[in-house]
Every structure is written in C-alpha cells, then in structure tokens.
Structure 1
Amino acid sequence: MTDEQTIVFIIDDDISVRESLTSLMRSVGHAAESFESTHDFLMSERPEGPACIVLDVRLPGQSGLEFQRETAGLGIHLPIIFISGHGDIPMSVSAMKAGAIEFLTKPFRDQDLLDAVHRGIELDRKCKRDQARLDGLQQRYQGLTPREQEVMALVVNGQLNKQIAAELHLSEVTVKAHRAQVMHKMKAKSLPDLVRFADRLDLVIPKH
C-alpha cells in the first residue's frame, strides 16, 4: 500500500452493513477495513495514508459518540462520518458539534456517503500535509545551534542586529553571520517567512 492509498475504516456491529460498505468503498478505489466494535478498531494496525472513519452511532459497549469524544486523547485525529438507523436530532447535533463530517440516517443514498467520505479523506489529506510541513519545520529548528535559536528568537521579536549584539554580548558581524545561518537553515526567504515559521512552531519568544 502506497502512502497515498486512501482508506476507509468502517465500524458497525452489523456484518451485512460492514460487507456492503466495504464493497462500496472498494468499488470507487478506496481501501477499506471493517470492524465490529471500536475496541477491535483500536486493537488493529492501521495503514498510513489519507483516511476517514465511517462509524455507527449505536454500538454494543462503547457507543460511537463516546468513541468520538475519546479519539483526540487516544491520538486518533481521523475525520468521522456517522451512520445510524435510529438517528435523532439531538444525537446528530452532538456529533456535528464534536466535529463529525456528516451524520447519515439509514437507509441513505450511497452517493451521499461517498460524498461525505470524499470530504473526510480530503480533510485528512490536508491535515497530514500540514503536519508533514510542521514536522519539517521542527526538524529544521532543531538543526539550529543553541546560539542560532537565541538569535532567531530575538530576530522574530523585531530586534535589530545592533540590539541583538548588545543583548547577547556579540559583535554585529557575528550576529549577521548567525542570522544568515538561521535564514539558510530554516529555508526562510524573508523576515516575514521566519516570523511565520516561529508562529507555526509556537515558539515562546522572549519580550525585551
């Protein structure tokens, strides 16, 4: 399975629903894995790649809504599409407020589910891409020397080379050299770039 293979995880205690949805997802090119319970899903090895979860709201043991509330704490950040044979307005409102992509009541049109799955997978693809960019930024930042990290913090805080030199007891020439290294290692083309990078890294910038 390549990194870009899209996958749909189906969690429903009804085997006929699982088989039907698995077949539907595979018919449009998605990989699909189905589970009888959220416990089975959590115990499984999940492939990488853009994905989403199709989740029955009413399950034996832990309900779909309970599982949804716990996903972030479990390190699971996949978009969720709820399906239900007994959907009611308060339940769907609760699910959507908690971040569900869609709440479909059985019987639903295959196309409605496929549209929701497509939105979910595109959202996950974007999240994974954003996370990869952030990981790259963090790696570049960790590649700076401690002194370069100090200089970067002061630069993005708006200090001039002369002020940074006085703050760190360095010559301006040395500060300029460190600053150039910071820009090069962080792959920042401009000061606004560097400021945006610091913001994305959520660096605690000291105020002077």
Structure 2
Amino acid sequence: MKKEFSTRPEVIDEQFLKYCGGFSWYDFVTAMPALVFLVTGWKSNGKENACLQSWSTFVGGGTNDFICILGRVGKHGHMYRSLKETGVCVINFPSYDIYDRCIKTIGNNEFETDEITAVGLTMEKATKVDAPRIKECHLNIECELLWEHELFQGSDDMTIALKAVNICMESDHYNQDKLSRYGKTGYLFQVDQPTNPETGEITSISTGTFEPREPLPWNTK
C-alpha cells in the first residue's frame, strides 16, 4: 500500500538530521543511491585537496560533451575554494578495496595537509588539467568548471557543473569478465541509511555496489 509523506515524519527528528550533516529527511526516506568519488585539486598553498563526494549525476550533453553535476558543494570548504581559484579538478572513482583510505580524507583535511598522500593513496599529475589525480582509483575524469548556482536562494551550498576534458581508466575495468565497471570491484554507491518513515527504524547501510542483470527486450510499443 502506498502512503503519502509531504512533511517530515515525527520519527525523524531534527537532532538526527543535524547529526547526519544537515541532510533533508527525504534523503533517508527515499534512500536513493549515488556514485561515490573523490574530487581532487590544488589548494592555494600548493597542497593536495581530496573531497569525498556523492549526491551527483553524470550526463552526456552532445557527441563530445560529458557533464558532471555536483549537487551539493559547501561554499566554505577547500574543494569549492580550489575550484574557484583554479577552474579545474579531477573526479576519481574508488573501488571498495581502498574505500577505508578514502574515508580518512575527511579527518585529514587541514589546509597544510597533502590530503591524498596523508591517507596512503598515491598522487599523480593529471594529463589535461593542472590538478592531482589518485593513482589507485580505477577511473579518473579530468574536468573544467562550467558553471555554479546556489542550491537554493541563501543556501550555504552550491550546485556545480563540471565538463570532462579527459578520461583515464584502468584497462582491466574495460572488460565485464575481468574487474569490470560494475560488481564488487567496480563503482561504489552511497546509500543514506534507509529509514522507515512510520517507525523510525534505520537499516545500517553506507555503501554498496551494482550488480547488472540480464537485459530486458527493448520493446517500446
């Protein structure tokens, strides 16, 4: 049976939302997954910046155009400042085997810290933009800043569009029979703790992988 929710359920209180980073209650009721990646660039002092991200989408906008829409970027963080100062970055996609190191970038984000090397990952220079890449990530997308807009009027967060200018991919991920882009060794997805809107019960999920199924016939009539 479908049920309607147009206001925040009482079982999801403001303290819970504040503890989880100030996200909307919609995040936890819908529990929609999104790709996990790290955005890397240079801070103004020349140190590496690495920001663990999700809540974004990727879309082709023409034969040669590939755009990443970063849904939520804090105005006061190193990542936003780096993008504004340099106009470029790299989007790095980790698999599960290095995710524990990726998480540590959150606690190693001081201005004077080289945030990639500080957590045991390897920095390498990008090919087409002046930004660092993460060597251990199976896919790196080098990007230029396209546009920015407030998430909503007066918000502390920005929505940002990035345009891809170069892709670097580990060759073993080309093939579905090898490491692949999907499955346990492929893309990681963030899942915002699925929450029962009637009872408040939380399912403890933080990340997951994607297992493709056999395709359905593409019958449009």
User: Under a length normalisation based on structure 1, what TM-score does the superposition of the two structures give?
Assistant: 0.21
Q: Which has the larger radius of gyration?
A: 1
More helix by share: 1
The structure showing larger relative contact order (alpha-carbon pairs under 8 Å, at least 6 residues apart) is 2
User: Under a length normalisation based on structure 2, what TM-score does the superposition of the two structures give?
Assistant: 0.20
